[in-house]
Amino acid sequence: MGNSRSGALSQEILEELQLSTKFTQEELCAWYQSFLKECPGGRITRQQFQGIYAKFFPDADPKAYAEHVFRSFDANSDGTLDFKEYVVALHMTTAGRPSQKLEWAFSLYDVDGNGAISKSEVLEIVMAIFKMINPEDAKHLPDDENTPEKRADKIWGFFGKKDDDKLTEEEFIEGTLANKEILRLIQFEPQKVKERLKEKEKNP
In our burial notation (b when 16+ CB lie closer than 10 A, e otherwise), range 124-135 reads bbbbbbbebbee
Q: Which of 36-40, 169-173, 178-182 has the weakest average pLDDT?
A: 36-40
Same domain, yes or no, for 23 and 77?
A: yes
Q: Is the pLDDT of residue 153 over 90?
A: yes
Q: What is the pLDDT of residue 70?
A: 92
Question: Would residue 21 count as lying in a domain?
Answer: yes
- SS3 state of residue 162: coil
Report helix, strand or coil for 116. strand
Q: Which range has highest mean pLDDT (16-20, 96-100, 199-203)? A: 16-20
Residues 65 and 104 in one domain: no
Nearest-angstrom CA–CA distance, 130 and 153: 14
Asked whether residue 142 falls in the same domain as residue 129, the answer is yes
Distances (CA, A) of 66 to 11, 93, 113: 30, 12, 17
What is the per-residue pLDDT for 4? Answer: 39
pLDDT of amino acid 127:
95
Q: What pLDDT was estimated at residue 31?
A: 85
Q: Give domain status of residue 169, yes or no.
A: yes
**What integer pLDDT is reported at residue 191 of this predicted model?**
46
Residue 192's pLDDT is what?
Answer: 46
Residues 74 and 138 in one domain: no
Both 125 and 155 in one domain: the answer is yes
Q: Is the pLDDT of residue 123 over 90?
A: yes
Residue 55: what pLDDT?
Answer: 80
pLDDT at 6: 42
pLDDT > 70 fraction of the chain, expressed in percent and rounded: 86
The reply to whether 52 and 117 lie within a common domain is no
Cα–Cα separations (whole angstroms), residue 189 to 32, 93, 114, 116, 196: 24, 9, 26, 24, 11
Do 113 and 37 fall into the same domain?
no
Q: Which domain CATH number covers 67?
A: 1.10.238.10
Residue among 123, 121, 120 nearest 148 (CA): 123
Round to whole Å and give the CA distance between 141 and 83: 37
Q: Domain range holding 71?
A: 14-96
Residues 102 and 180 in one domain: yes
State the Cα–Cα distance between residues 135 and 21, nearest whole angstrom.
34
C-alpha distances in Å from residue 140, one per residue of 6, 29, 91, 137, 156: 45, 41, 30, 6, 22
**Count of the separate structural domains present in the chain:** 2
Would 7 be classed as within a structural domain? no
